[in-house]
Amino acid sequence: MELTHVTVAVDAMGGDRAPEAVLPGVAAALQADPALTVALVGPDEVVAPFATERSRVTPVAASQVIAMDEHPANAVRSKPDSSIVVGCRLVRDGAADAFFSAGSTGACMAAATLIVGRAQGVSRPAIAAIIPAPSRPVVLLDIGANADCKPEHLVQFAFMGAAYARTMLGVAQPSVGLLNIGEEPTKGSALAQAAHALLAQRVPGFIGNVEGRDLPRGAVDVVVTDGFTGNVALKVMEGLSAVLFSEIKSAMTSSPVRAAAAAVLKGSLTQLKHRLDPDAYGGAPLLGIKRPCLIGHGSSGPEAIAAGIAAAARAARLGLVEIVARDVASAGVA
């Protein structure tokens, strides 16, 4: 099947290792996808030389950079010529079909909402994370865009997450769970109780409450929660994963004999680490935005950057945002 041509706007300055990690990531993405064009956004001295050597790269100058620790909305407003803002403008104006950055998630969300705009019918765009549970990838949302939510928002998240699982992960009928602190419908906070009632009424595939331990276990395809709880859950997983792998490494190298044994196992443990690496899915999609926008982890290397660009291209080709908008409209809640 011939691939439709797509253009992805890529933030050359996004991530802790930008632009060094981004440029080879772009090169790898282009090589893997002959129908891809990249609008590479960043300082002229970074993007121009890279573009002159490649026919499918359009350099787009942006003189400013938004740092990871800047206040998202303020930075977007005060830096109109930043790579994130310029990239989002390209998407808004139709010069690009999708946007990818490994920069500040907050700034990307702010720019995407303010510049690209919300998809029709979406009250609150959400950031989703794809958790690589052993049994299946779990779409968790929101992970930080909306610290305080209403039950109606969680219903929209359910439709957006399910649309993502169906379209991008190929799950025919995604199951949806509400993150809560007990199985019974009457458990949890006032928000969780009200959300449970509304989800049960409106969301096909809703299977009820799931608990924290069900997230890493992969008990359902989609888990909805407010952006506060989702962010804490995601960061707890990131932190614990790092701590455990580091502790295991120490335990395994605490004597020469152990180190020799560990060397035999290095390959399979590295494989495991890769398999459990969320970057494999191409970063966090901003769902409910008018065009596909994906955010890579700040620590993204070239492989993760390439995966993110590929996911953005795929989302554009599959019409993800149109499907999200149609499904949210069918939910009938605002």
Q: How far is the CB of 158 from a second copy (least distance, A)?
A: 18
Of residues 223-252, those binding a second copy (CB under 8 A): 225-229, 231-244, 247-248, 251-252
Report how many residues bind a second copy under the rule CB under 8 A.
Answer: 57
Q: How far is the CB of 39 from a second copy (least distance, A)?
A: 30
Euclidean distance between CA atoms 34 and 11, whole angstroms? 20
Q: How far is the CB of 44 from a second copy (least distance, A)?
A: 33
Binding range to a second copy, per CB under 8 A, among 95-103, 206-214, 299-307, 317-325: 206-214
Of residues 130-189, those binding a second copy (CB under 8 A): 133-134, 144, 147-148, 179, 181, 184, 187-189
Q: How far is the CB of 53 from a second copy (least distance, A)?
A: 39
Of residues 31-90, those binding a second copy (CB under 8 A): 71
CA atoms lying within 13 Å on the CB side of residue 97:
23
Q: How far is the CB of 41 from a second copy (least distance, A)?
A: 26
**How is residue 234 annotated by DSSP?**
H
Q: How far is the CB of 252 from a second copy (least distance, A)?
A: 5
Closest CA to 209 of 234, 186, 230: 186
Task: Match 């772009």 to its residue by tokens.
Answer: 26
- In angstroms, how far is CA 272 from the centroid of its own chain? 21
Start-to-end Cα distance in the chain:
39
Q: Which is closer to a second copy, CB of 256 or CB of 332?
A: 256
Q: Which is closer to a second copy, CB of 20 or CB of 275?
A: 275
Q: How far is the CB of 128 from a second copy (least distance, A)?
A: 15
Q: Which is closer to a second copy, CB of 34 or CB of 134?
A: 134
Q: Strands of 6-11's sheet, edge to edge?
A: 57-61, 36-42, 6-11, 98-101, 293-295, 284-287, 126-132, 137-141, 222-224, 176-179, 206-210
Residue 207: enclosing H or E segment and its boundaries? Answer: strand 206-210
Query: Of 51, 128, 165, 215, which lies in the binding site for a second copy, with binding defined by CB under 8 A?
Result: 215
Q: Which is closer to a second copy, CB of 23 or CB of 223?
A: 223
**How is residue 82 annotated by DSSP?**
B
Query: Of 1, 53, 213, 332, which lies in the binding site for a second copy, with binding defined by CB under 8 A?
Result: 213
Q: How far is the CB of 326 from a second copy (least distance, A)?
A: 31
- In angstroms, how far is CA 264 from the centroid of its own chain? 34
Of residues 258-317, those binding a second copy (CB under 8 A): 258, 260-262, 264-265, 268-269, 271-272, 276
DSSP assignment of 158-185 = HHHHHHHHHHHH--SS--EEEE-SSSST
Euclidean distance between CA atoms 323 and 330, whole angstroms? 11
Summarize as ranges the residues that interact with a second copy (CB under 8 A). 71, 133-134, 144, 147-148, 179, 181, 184, 187-190, 192, 211-217, 225-229, 231-244, 247-248, 251-252, 254, 257-258, 260-262, 264-265, 268-269, 271-272, 276
